[in-house]
Amino acid sequence: GQQLNQSPQSMFIQEGEDVSMNCTSSSIFNTWLWYKQDPGEGPVLLIALYKAGELTSNGRLTAQFGITRKDSFLNISASIPSDVGIYFCAGQLSYGGATNKLIFGTGTLLAVQP
């Protein structure tokens, strides 16, 4: 199946450090999304980006929709222990304005040491 290239695959950091991860695709997307998944749970949406070049923040999280529409990055500032989890990017195509087909990235495992 199709997956987006997400890096890094895993990160082990100290509490308080900043984190950066990115996602690239060979295809153009109309929407980029970032999700976090905790063990035993489904993914939870963190940030949605709808326009090329868009930079959006949600608390300590900042994400950008690449100009080429083929990439996106997510930054987490001043990490805390509850940031631990797997982060997924997802690209979404649009056919006539209605589609729910998400193409997910390979995921980034984040571990934060207190």
Partner 1 sequence: KAGVTQTPRYLIKTRGQQVTLSCSPISGHRSVSWYQQTPGQGLQFLFEYFSETQRNKGNFPGRFSGRQFSNSRSEMNVSTLELGDSALYLCASSLWGRITDTQYFGPGTRLTVL
Is residue 52 a contact point for partner 1 (CB under 8 A)? no
Is residue 98 a contact point for partner 1 (CB under 8 A)? yes
User: Whose Cβ is closer to partner 1: residue 29's or residue 79's?
Assistant: 29
| Among the residue ranges 13-21, 54-62, 75-83, 93-101, the one whose residues contact partner 1 (CB under 8 A) | 93-101
| Cis omega (within 30 of 0) for bond into 114 | no
Is residue 39 a contact point for partner 1 (CB under 8 A)? no
Residue 48's H or E segment, with its range, is: strand 44-49
| Among the residue ranges 9-17, 35-43, 56-64, 72-80, the one whose residues contact partner 1 (CB under 8 A) | 35-43
Using an 8 Å Cβ cutoff, are 65 and 57 in contact?
no
Kindly state the smallest distance separating residue 45's Cβ from partner 1, in Å: 6
Burial class of residue 70, CB neighbours in 10 A (0-12, 13-18, 19+): middle
Residues in the chain: 114
Using an 8 Å Cβ cutoff, are 75 and 60 in contact?
no
CA dihedral 26, 31, 34, 38 (to 10 degrees): -100
Is residue 104 a contact point for partner 1 (CB under 8 A)? yes
Is residue 5 a contact point for partner 1 (CB under 8 A)? no
Which residues here bind partner 1, judged by CB under 8 A? Answer: 1-3, 30-31, 35, 40-45, 48, 50, 88, 90, 92, 94, 97-107
